[in-house]
Amino acid sequence: MNINIICIGKIKDKYINEGIAEFSKRMTSFANFNIIELKEYNKEDSMNISIDKESQDILKQLSKSNSYNILLDLNGKELSSEDMSEYIEDLKNKGTSSINFIIGGSNGVNKELKNSVDMKLKFSHFTFPHQLMRLILLEQIYRWFAISNNIKYHK
């Protein structure tokens, strides 16, 4: 299976990069894993223009593959770790070979992107910094695979 995290911007904090490196290494046991970092525009443009530019860049990435696309979204579906593990296993059993997890920019994504994905997933009612969310997502992806492979990581 191929797992991609498509996200906006680069990680600046060393401790987050170290966590991402650790879970990226662990993921190699389960899947081909890749992080695709796209340009952050909000420093140069108005908010609506930056949202559209970032969303279009993400849509270009999605058009390059025949993947199942999951957008992290505040209005998305909430699942437990066990349920999400089962959901991914079900996708694999149905022949899905690639999953893209999408983290939009700090200002969000446009309606076109929201309407283009296969699933919207909500992690929490809390607000997380985008850089930290990338690490949280990666840890959860590892957890989902650990659950489905009966590895004693998830308690």
Structural domains in the chain, CATH included, are 2-148 (3.40.1280.10)
The pLDDT score that the predictor gives to residue 130 is 85
Check residue 154 and give its pLDDT. 60
Known binding residue 104? Answer is yes
User: Taking a C-beta distance cutoff of 8 angstroms, is the pair 43, 68 a contact?
Assistant: no
Report how far residue 49's alpha carbon sits from residue 61's, in angstroms, rounded to the nearest whole number.
Answer: 19
Average pLDDT over all residues of the chain: 93
With cut-offs at 50, 70 and 90, classify the pLDDT of residue 46: confident
Q: Is the model's pLDDT at 21 over the cut of 90?
A: yes
DSSP structural state of residue 30? T
| Alpha helices (H) in the chain, listed in sequence order | 14-27, 47-63, 81-93, 111-116, 130-148
pLDDT score recorded for residue 44: 62
72 labeled binding residue: yes
Q: What pLDDT digit, counting tens, does each position of 52-105 carry? A: 999 999 999 998 878 999 999 999 999 999 999 999 999 999 999 999 999 999
Q: Write the DSSP symbol of residue 142.
A: H
In angstroms, what is the C-alpha Rg of the chain?
15
